Amino acid sequence: MRTFFSGIALSAMLAASAVMAAGQAGAEPVKVGMIVTLSGPPAALGKQSRDGFQLALDQLGGKLGGQETQFIVEDDELKPDVALSKAKSLVEREQVDVVVGTIFSNMLAAIFKPVVTSDTFLISPNAGPSTFAGKNCNPFFFSTSYQNNQNFELLGKYAEEKGFKNVFMMAPNYQAGKDSITGFKSNYTGQIADEIYTPLGHKDFSAEIAKISAAKPDALFTFMPGGMGVRFVKQFRAAGLADQMAFLSAFTVDETTLPAQKDDAIGFFGAGNWAPNLDTPGNAEFVAAFEEKYGYVPGTYAMQAYDTAMLLDAAIAKVGGDMSDKDALRAAIRAADFTSLRGGFKFNNNHYPVQDFYLLKVAKRDDGKFQTEIEQKVFEAQGDSFASECKMTW
Amino acid sequence: MSTTLVLVQILNGLQLGILLFLIAAGLTLVFGVMGFINLAHGVQYMVGAYFAVAFYGLTGNFLAAMLLALASALVLGLLLEFLVFRHLYDRDHLDQVLATFGIILFLNQATTVIWGPAPLIIPQPEFLSGSIPLTDGLLYPVYRLAIIAAGLAVAALLWFIVTRTRLGMLVRAGATNPDMVSALGVDVRRLFMLVFGFGAMLAGFAGVLSAPIFSVEPGMGDNLLIVAFVVIIVGGIGSIRGSFIAALLIGLVDTLGRSLMTDILKLFMDASSANQIGPALASMLIYVLMAAILFFRPTGLFAVGRAT
């Protein structure tokens, strides 16, 4: 009896696979796997990435480079082990052609090796650690975002140019927090009022705010991503310090936190490679289409994912949908023959972008929503400072 | 480091202590009176904050939102007691820990599903916004002073209930010898339910108060829960007075430690090492304090004499 049933099952499976093979014979669909953070408090960032990529895909009629595309989204839960197993499953089981991920640098570190060693292209739509920008740059890894330090460096440059004499610095007590202060200092030569490190996930900034208030600096530089930024901005404003000093920040006031910060963040400065009001071809249309579809203001995370999809679209079209010739595909990605929403975009020798960077300012729009807006351009066609350590040439 | 700055930091410490007290008061009663370990107490703080956000969205008035949120927190507390906790009183502590940990996971996820993962916030009430200058250039937000005042008022109210009313007498008796109280004809189950609901409401109250200054997000109560346990252990389990003193002590030590530790270290080491060690040491302080107090007074500062 058992053999009888398994015989049926087997023949059914064979028949099914024969049908599938016939279906694929014409053109094999392009498979793109995405790994972003979609749970926990930072889920808003991953959601922006997923929605940005999906929007591009929808606008392209579900096709990248004219090829039917299967888009698989996975949640890394902000846990390195989960990210690793999801990446392995995408590469080994799903056999995707491209992995797009991640939001956080430590997640990228977790999935990097299994993806690139299987000769699968890995494109980061946000995380841009220095780790893979210098000596460890890789022919299978691209970033469409920025190198993490650049936003901090631009704020330091701005503080220097603006002639701030006394800057107070505050960051969470972990690697990225310390990097932010180092990045800022690399361009700022003025006096440092004080430099304080708070626990990661800090709740009550009253003690820090009292110190800032007592130090009377010209400007505050801070890096408080996610919920920390929401709390800090709120408390900073309530303490009445917003009128006394410039608020320079990176990843602290952006489209993912502004829905909670609202009026309290108005006039605060951020840093980035893009803003919803950037005047480039197609940008206004992108923002309008995104808001129409998802009901919230896109941030740089959404833009970078959208650009990633458009980059892939151009590259896949260039190789005529042939995903098997990796060298040709790499050359096509390197060419970056697409119109980026941020205007000029090309890849540096380390596969990180060369692009403009701007000081951003939080503003309230006429419809009552909040967004960052371009205040001034700080870096023009800027590559990162690690590219020279990368041995890759092309 | 001027004296005014130290004064401001003391106010900050008091304010943190008051919030801790509101959470710890319920926790110590539930733990002390019922011998029940409720890990889900921190989520009740979170739920209070979410209720405040929801009702603020409906009414647009902070006071109305607070009253509705308090009522809802009380109802939710009673509901949880009725559905889950009541069945766990006779089980051992491991079962209680597992079940209440499950409640944490469930409620954290439920808030994510309902309100989304992004942090939310409500504005400070108009009449408490702004800040007052303590000295030249040093401002202190009125709202934080209001938190201190509200917390002191609750502490006074609790003191009155516990020491001057019949209900308080039963609670104190229950903390010392629950079996005897039951034998004397008191409905201990109902007493437990009341204590539980009240504790949940206090935690919810802390959540409502903190909603305008902290961000409201899933899991916001998890860290505070650990500190609240430190408070009730330092204060002596079951003692409201102990948890009040301990909460203020922990709040002050934590805040002053965070603000002064790095500066103190800078006196005898270079700035960069002080920046490295200071924050790490500051975040350990309250646990060091707990260990020291437990060494000298193993049952906490104000231990409730428990009949065995």
- Between positions 318 and 357 of A, the ones with CB within 8 A of B are none
Q: Are strands A63-64 and A246-249 parallel, antiparallel or unpaired?
A: unpaired
Nearest to B215 among A40, A207, A231 (CB): A231
Rounded to a whole number of angstroms, the distance between the first and last alpha carbons of chain A is: 63
Task: List pLDDT tens digits, range A82-140.
Answer: 999 999 999 999 999 999 989 998 899 999 999 999 999 999 999 998 889 999 999 99
**A4 or B70: whose pLDDT is higher?**
B70
Kindly report the backbone phi and psi dihedral angles of residue B121, in degrees, each rounded to the nearest multiple of 5, phi listed first.
-155, 150
> How close A203 gets to chain B, by Cα (Å)?
6
Rounded to an integer, what distance in angstroms lies between the CA atom of residue B155 and that of residue B239? Answer: 12
Rounded to an integer, what distance in angstroms lies between the CA atom of residue A26 and that of residue A22? Answer: 8
Confidence label for A31 from pLDDT (cuts 50, 70 and 90): very high
Choose, out of A211, A228, A235, A245, the residue to mutate when testing the contact with B (most B CBs < 10 Å). Answer: A211
Q: What is the pTM of this model?
A: 0.81
Nearest to B139 among A173, A198, A213 (CB): A213
DSSP letter, residue A29: P
Residues A206, B16: C-beta atoms closer than 8 Å: yes
Rounded to an integer, what distance in angstroms lies between the CA atom of residue A366 and that of residue A375? Answer: 18
Task: List pLDDT tens digits, range B144-161.
Answer: 899 999 999 999 999 999
Q: What does the pLDDT read at residue B137?
A: 62
Rounded to an integer, what distance in angstroms lies between the CA atom of residue B258 and that of residue A199? Answer: 10
Apex A299 CA angle, A305 and A296, nearest 5: 105
* Number of helices (H), then strands (E), in chain A: 12, 14
> How close B237 gets to chain A, by Cα (Å)?
26
> How close B74 gets to chain A, by Cα (Å)?
25
Rounded to an integer, what distance in angstroms lies between the CA atom of residue B15 and that of residue B21? Answer: 10
> Mean pLDDT across the stretch A364-383?
94
Contacts of A115-123 with CB under 8 Å at 24 or more apart are A115/A87, A115/A90, A115/A91, A115/A140, A116/A140, A116/A141, A118/A91, A118/A92, A119/A326, A120/A91, A120/A96, A121/A97, A121/A326, A121/A329, A121/A330, A121/A333, A122/A98, A123/A98, A123/A99, A123/A308, A123/A311, A123/A312, A123/A333
Query: Using N-to-C axis directions, what is the helix angle for B166-176 and B188-210, rounded to 10°?
Result: 100
Task: List pLDDT tens digits, range B152-211.
Answer: 999 999 999 988 999 888 888 877 787 888 888 888 888 888 888 999 999 999 999 999
Looking at domain A29-146+278-355, its CATH architecture is 3-Layer(aba) Sandwich (3.40)
Judge if A29-146+278-355 and A149-272 fold alike in CATH terms. Answer: yes
Average pLDDT of chain B is: 88
**B155 or B137: whose pLDDT is higher?**
B155
Is the predicted pLDDT of residue A18 greater than 60, yes or no? no
> Mean pLDDT across the stretch A347-352?
95
- By C-alpha distance, the chain A residue nearest B215 is A231
Question: What's the CATH number for A149-272?
Answer: 3.40.50.2300
Every domain of chain A and the residues it spans = 29-146+278-355, 149-272
**Of B169, B189, B236, B166, nearest in space to B34 by CA:** B189
Say if CB A207 and CB B9 are below 8 A apart: yes
Choose, out of A197, A204, A254, A296, the residue to mutate when testing the contact with B (most B CBs < 10 Å). Answer: A204
Q: Which chain B residues are within 8 Å of A230, Cβ to Cβ?
A: 119, 121, 215
- By C-alpha distance, the chain A residue nearest B16 is A204
Average pLDDT of chain A is: 90
Q: Compute the residue count for chain A.
A: 394
Rounded to an integer, what distance in angstroms lies between the CA atom of residue A105 and that of residue A127? Answer: 5
